[in-house]
Every structure is written in structure tokens, then in C-alpha cells.
Amino acid sequence: MRITKITTLVVNAKMRNWVVVQVFTDVPGLIGIGEATVEYQARAVVGAVGDLAVTLVGRDPRDIERNWQIMYRHPFFKGGVTMMSALSGIDQALWDISAKDLNVPLWRLLGGLARDRIRMYDHLGGGSSDSVYNSDTVSSFSEKMKQSIKEGFTAVKILAVPQSTALGDESKLKHAHDLMASARMAAGPDVDIMIDFHGRTTAAMAIKYAQVLEPFKPLFLEEVVPPDQIESLKVARAGINVPIAAGERWLHRTEFLPYLQAGLIDVAQPDVCHAGGVTEIRRISALCESYGVSMAPHNPLGP
């Protein structure tokens, strides 16, 4: 079996364009599909997929590890979100080909079942960008939380921390408190609530926000400081008494390692569309297990 061509399909979607990767083989009808979406970088990712494609055409798609190493090691300048997302999309498609070739689900190739069920969480607003980003009133949080619960979710992630808040004031802290209070009141005590900071705050402000949010027992706080500021996370970690999640913008196991070694996170969130695809996610998973850190694979992108 050989790879004959690799193409991309860009789907216009609100806030972002989905970048779908297709890997074609010389077996009629056997096509692998992956996703390489990066917000606001669709054209760059499409170009990166094309650059990587020339290194793989003619190779066996089932040699997934070899193909991953070729894609990762071939460029002189490695990494970066554009190239790693392109690599991730192709890697997903290669796994898809192997699973289809053997007529088995992908999880079978990953070692079979570890559990019979996987718990899912909803993002408040159910994936609607308007509901997620443009609804920040107490009433809207309450209504959307009730909708998530009605749909059967037992965990919901919310954006209770104001956007672009590096230095906040008491009114913003109170607003975050009120949003979380409304969400908790609507959810009741048995639904887990996670709060995504989106890396918007300084360590000092992250601690202040955590202090007003902690009484409502969030499951974890996500990206409480910018993802490239390990020293800031050390400060935040020392002052926050809630589990911390991070990792959606880390692209390789070597980026996770120092945070794991320093004991700075409780939940790792590698994104299969950015962090090297299925192949690298497996390595990150093993690394997290070595440090006793849970993993919640991340992906808010395509369908």
C-alpha cells in the first residue's frame, strides 16, 4: 500500500475555518481523514500540509511511526503550531487508514478497551460561539446550564473570567463570582463545573479569581495564566487550592514535561489537532501517567 496524494479541504465555519486533511492511497476507496484546524491560520496550515505531503507520497501509510518521524524531523525548523497542526492532521489520517484497512475501530489499534464508558462534558452554550463568547449575564449562564443538564451532561465548562483581563478590579471579580454562583445554583451540587481562564490573567489576578470561585467547588481551573509562563504558573499554583488544568496550547511532550516535573498541573489537556496527532498524544498520555496526572484530551475545533 502506498500514499498517492495528500489534500486539504477548507470548510468555512463561524470564528474559524475547519481544515480537513485527506490522505489517498493506491487502494481504491481507502482514504484517511484527519483535522488540522488552527484558528485564523487556515491558509498557513494548508501550505504546511502541502510541504509535509511531499515527504510522504509513495510511502506506506501504515508505517505510522516512521512517517511521524519523517514529518517531525525533516524540517530544519521544527515545531510551531502551524507545522505541528499539519503533522497532527496527517497523523490522524494515517491512523484512520490503518483502522479502515483492518476493518476495526481506532481504539482497537490503541490497545483495546480500558473502560466501557467515557464521561463527556459540555461547554456552556453547547458549542455555539455566540452562546459561549457573547453571553455573560447571570440569567444566560443559568439558562444554558439548565439546558446542558437537560441534555444529560454531568459536567460543564464555563467562561466566567472576563476576556483580556490581566489586571482586574473588584467589579470584575464580583461579576465572575455572580456568574459562577448562577451556574452552580442551576447545576446543583452533583454537576461538575470547570472554569476556563483562557490564559487571560496574571498570576496575581488568577489567585484573586480563584479565591472568589473556590467556594463553588469547581472541578478544575483551566489555563489560569498564559501557556508559556511556567514561572507565573508556579506563583499561581502556590496560591490556588483548586486543581489546575493546562496543555491545549502545548505542542509536544517536551513542552508538557517541565510542568509535570514541577507538579504544576493536575489535568493535562493535549489537543489531538495540535500536539502531534494520535501518535504524540499516546506518548503524552504515558508521560502523564508517570507523574500521576490525569489527562483530558482537548479539541474545540471541527465537527
> In the annotation, is 175 catalytic?
no
Is the pLDDT at 129 greater than 80? The verdict is: no
User: Which region, left, alpha or beta, applies to residue 259 given φ > 0 means left and ψ of -120 to 50 means alpha?
Assistant: alpha
For 39-61, the pLDDT digits (tens) are: 889 999 999 999 999 999 999 99
**Which one is catalytic: 123, 175, 198, 252?**
198
> 52: helix, coil or strand?
helix
> 13: helix, coil or strand?
strand
Measured between alpha carbons, how far is 146 from 91 in angstroms, rounded to an integer? 38
**pLDDT band with cut points at 50, 70 and 90 for residue 166:** low
- Comparing CA positions, the residue from 210, 117, 203 lying closest to residue 161 is 210
**Which one is catalytic: 123, 175, 252, 298?**
298
- Comparing CA positions, the residue from 244, 301, 241 lying closest to residue 272 is 301
Per the confidence metrics, is the pTM higher than 0.85? yes
Domains of the chain: 3-109 (3.30.390.10), 122-246 (3.20.20.120)
What is 155-201 written as a DSSP string? Answer: EEEE--SPTT-SS--HHHHHHHHHHHHHHHHHH-TTSEEEEE-TT-S
> In the annotation, is 177 catalytic?
no
CA within 13 Å, CB half, 303: 6
Measured between alpha carbons, how far is 270 from 17 in angstroms, rounded to an integer? 21
Question: Does the CA dihedral 269-10-54-75 come out positive or negative?
Answer: negative
For 21-41, the pLDDT digits (tens) are: 999 999 999 999 999 999 889
Question: Does the CA dihedral 274-277-278-280 come out positive or negative?
Answer: negative
| Residue written as grid cell 508538557 | 256
For 180-195, the pLDDT digits (tens) are: 999 999 999 999 999 9
